Amino acid sequence: MTYFLGINDDEFIRGEIPMTKQEIRILVLAKAKIRPTDVIIDIGAGTGSLSIEAALQAPKGRVYAIERHAEGIELIRANGTKFGAENVEAILGSAPEALEGLPMSDVIFIGGSGGHLTEILNQSDQLLRSQGRLVITAITIETLYEALHIMQEKPEFTVEAFSAQISRIKQIKTSNMLQALNPIYIITCTKKA
């Protein structure tokens, strides 16, 4: 099967668990700069859409998809099977506890923190290899502020951030209507060599 970055949202098996939308996945994956052998951790993996795309970019690597909801774990496994991403391991649990015992990683995604962002960022710092990339997606100003405040205080990281507002065009009869997705903040932290 040929893989192109940005799998359509409707191709994923979905439930009631949130999913990172296609356009946002493309931006996050571009910032992650995944290599074929990378080890990746996806915290708050949801349906696994980002985990699956990361796994397809790192066919000789490994993706650890952490999700605290059992339905999400089932969806991650089902989507992994559907897309042939055999290098995804779904882990039921909450971070930072679920990070215990995971290997050193090249890329860490944080898409959900369950109110434990400080602890997760500190644990991620310990798990991230030199020149590794930590990519945080935030939908609230508070998460954006907390992530920036914590990561900009760490001299071993370079930090950049931006917001993205995506509107899709949907045809309704003879007209076209803009449908806005929720705005999102993407913070990329690169560990210095």
Q: Could you report the per-residue pLDDT of 43-81, keeping only the tens digit for each?
A: 999 999 999 999 999 999 999 999 999 999 999 999 999
pTM for the model stands at 0.94
pLDDT, the chain, mean: 95
Helix and strand numbers, DSSP H then E, in the chain: 5, 9
Share of residues in the chain with pLDDT > 90 (%): 92
Beta bridge partners of 157: 191
pLDDT tens column, 7-55: 999 999 998 888 999 999 999 999 999 999 999 999 999 999 999 999 9
Average pLDDT for 106-123: 93
| Nearest Cα to Cα of residue 17 among 49, 39, 56 | 49
CA atoms 17, 56, 101, 74: torsion sign: positive
How far is 60 from 106, CA to CA, in rounded Å? Answer: 13
Q: Where are the domains of the chain?
A: 14-191
For residue 63 the two structure tokens come to 């993706």
Sorting pLDDT into bands at 50, 70 and 90, what band is 149? very high
What's the confidence (pLDDT) of residue 112?
Answer: 82
Respond yes or no on whether the N-terminal peptide bond of residue 103 is cis (omega within 30° of 0): no
C-alpha to C-alpha distance for 62 and 77, rounded to whole angstroms: 14
| CATH match of 14-191 with 3.40.50.150 | yes
* pLDDT value of residue 3: 77
Average pLDDT on 128-152 reads 97
Instruction: Give the pLDDT band (50/70/90) at residue 1.
Output: low
- pLDDT, tens only, 93-112: 999 999 999 999 999 999 98
d(CA 47, CA 55): 14
At residue 2, does pLDDT exceed 80? Answer: no
Using one digit for the tens of pLDDT, what is the confidence trace for 170-184? 999 999 999 998 899
- Any residues with CB less than 8 A from the CB of 64 and at least 6 apart, and which? 39, 40, 41, 42, 89, 91, 102, 105
Tokens 């990070």 — which residue?
A: 99
Instruction: Identify the pLDDT of residue 4.
Output: 84
